Amino acid sequence: MRKAVVDNTVFVSFVALRGPGASKLMDAWEAKRFQLITSEPILAEADIVLRQQGASDEAVDTFLSGLRTAATVVAPTERITACRDADDDKMLEAAVAGHADCIVSGDKDLRVLSPFRGLEILTVNRFLRRLGVRKATMGGR
């Protein structure tokens, strides 16, 4: 089974915007098409960003609780400073710690690093294609 770190840009699209690509991705995760890897630093940032984007406290709490329960939460052991946006290094750290196959992100600062130590950094739609899921109607290439 593929293991993927999902960036907070995707979580915002799913929770706050109900983006079709992010929704298909989360449906694929719930259907156990891939293992979602995350970390407490990623979840802490998601909490802040989702609330800033106008998601309700209830929606954020429910979403993050679900991630903590069903996703694999890793504790990064290596400090990585590779991304031009230092806030995105936490995605790389979680991916390395969790032995992920890829990172799924809409963030160009991350995608420009692909491949990073053998990790692909893919848009939502590219990852969905890899999973054999029909392309979402909007989103990445």
CA separation for the pair 79, 89 (Å, rounded):
8
Q: Domain segments of the chain: what residues?
A: 2-131
Residue 135: alpha-carbon gap to chain centroid: 17
pTM for this entry: 0.87
CA-wise closest residue to 62 among 79, 50, 49, 45: 50
CA–CA separation, 130 and 122 (whole Å):
10
CATH code of 2-131, in short, is: 3.40.50.1010
pLDDT of residue 110: 87
pLDDT computed for residue 107 by the predictor = 85
- pLDDT of residue 120 exceeding 80: yes
Q: Mean pLDDT over all residues of the chain?
A: 88
> Which residue, 74, 75, 8, is CA-closest to 47?
8
**pLDDT (0 to 100) of residue 135:** 60
Q: Which residues, including other chains, have CB under 8 Å from residue 19's CB and lie 6 or more apart?
A: 13, 136, 138, 139
> What 3-state class would DSSP assign to 25?
helix
List, for residues 29-78, the tens digit of each pLDDT value. 999 999 999 999 999 999 999 999 888 999 999 999 999 999 999 999 99
* Structure confidence at residue 141 as a pLDDT band (50, 70, 90): very low
